[in-house]
Amino acid sequence: MQQTNMASTTTGYTADDLAAVVELAIRAPSMHNSQPWRFRLSGGAIEVRLDKARLPDIPARAWAGRVSCGAAVFNLRLALAVLGKPAVVLVQPHNDDPDVVAKLVPDQPRSASGAERTLYAAISRRHSNRAPFSTQSVPADLRFRLREAARSEGGWLDLIIGTSAVNALAEVVNAANRVLQRDKAYASELARWSREEIAQDGVSVRAAGYAPEPQDILPMRAFGARTRPPGRDYEPEPLVAVLGSAEDRDTDQVTAGLALERVLLTATDAGLAVSMFSQPIEVPAARERLRLALGRHGIPQMVLRVGYGHPGYPSLRRPAASVIDPPE
Ligand SMILES: Cc1cc2nc3c(=O)[nH]c(=O)nc-3n(C[C@H](O)[C@H](O)[C@H](O)COP(=O)(O)O)c2cc1C
């Protein structure tokens, strides 16, 4: 992301601009639907700040916060472009305040591209789908588009091909899940974000997918226990992908969030459903196993399951006004 001078023809963003685009930013995915972000105007630019109070104070949750905020920044950038007021994104612009994950500075006005409009239209249709997918396979051209989506934001997306490779990756995800399940703090964190009914944050039982069964290849995060109807097993050969970044500095985690959201919106536009598994990223030993298993340069940032599904259950958000702070 390059630095830019504010050109004389650009004007700063207004409170109305901010209110309009934050509505789209908060549709981004976030760990446990915790929505760990705050937005404000700062000298005509938009600042995105990590709201640490929304997640436990441990490294794996700082990671999750930065990825979630990065995804929100991607939506902000798109929404501003479609508004005709595009932005240049500066990631972690203040060395002395790393909680400012990004600043969006007005760029020269221009019309949004076709690709921007297409992805923008997918923002409100995207949601995590934790239900079983059909056995229909994802065609090669869509696989290519997903990989390109990650690459165009400075990330990478590796598709895991072949039964033994998928099983090996699933074993890493399951091992990480077992480690987390033995942790009492993790159990109380899940209880904090699990919702009986659809709410403004957290994950409802309906959105959570089915309670785990021994035959499942990948372990859904246990937000609630919805028993599955007979015959509704998960697909036996899921398309699994790992999204990653070149390194794992804080700035890489933010840009991984941008890459993640671009992949998710590209998938939504193509009619694909996606669910996420971050257990192996949260457990350092599992993340290292995953990195070694991929046999490539770079650091894994998320595991994705991609396929064709029935419409799932969107999760709600807190009102946009509640995450906007007064201007600096
Ligand atoms: C950093 C991060 C980690 C996540 N990890 C998981 C996960 O392990 N399991 C899961 O089911 N969903 C995971 N999600 C998806 C969130 O639970 C989801 O985005 C959130 O509940 C909002 O719902 P939505 O995606 O339907 O809008 C993760 C999302 C992010 C950004």
Which residue has its alpha carbon closest to ligand 1 atom 17?
A: 32
Kindly tell me if the per-residue pLDDT of 306 is higher than 70.
yes
What are the φ and ψ backbone dihedral angles of 177, each rounded to 5 degrees?
A: -60, -40
User: What pLDDT is stored for residue 9 in this prediction?
Assistant: 59
pLDDT per position as a tens digit, 195-217: 999 899 999 999 998 888 889 99
What are the φ and ψ backbone dihedral angles of 276, each rounded to 5 degrees?
A: -115, 150
Strand-pair partners of 275: 305
pLDDT per position as a tens digit, 118-175: 999 999 999 999 999 999 999 999 999 999 999 999 999 999 999 999 999 999 999 9
Q: Are strands 194-195 and 203-204 parallel, antiparallel or unpaired?
A: parallel
- Mean pLDDT over residues 16-28, rounded? 98
pTM for this prediction: 0.96
| Amino acid at the residue 61 | R
pLDDT per position as a tens digit, 31-87: 999 999 999 999 999 999 999 999 999 999 999 999 999 999 999 999 999 999 999
Q: Is 33 in the pocket of ligand 1 (CB under 6 A)?
A: yes
- DSSP state letter for 88: E
Q: Cα(190)–Cα(210) distance, rounded to whole angstroms? A: 16
Token output for 130? 């934790």
pLDDT per position as a tens digit, 100-130: 999 999 999 999 999 999 999 999 999 999 9
In angstroms, the Cα distances linking 14 to 20, 37, 42, 185, 207 are 10, 19, 10, 42, 35
Q: Mean pLDDT over all residues of the chain?
A: 95
Q: Is 276 in the pocket of ligand 1 (CB under 6 A)?
A: yes
Q: Is 221 in the pocket of ligand 1 (CB under 6 A)?
A: yes
Burial of 146 (0-12, 13-18, 19+ CB in 10 A): buried
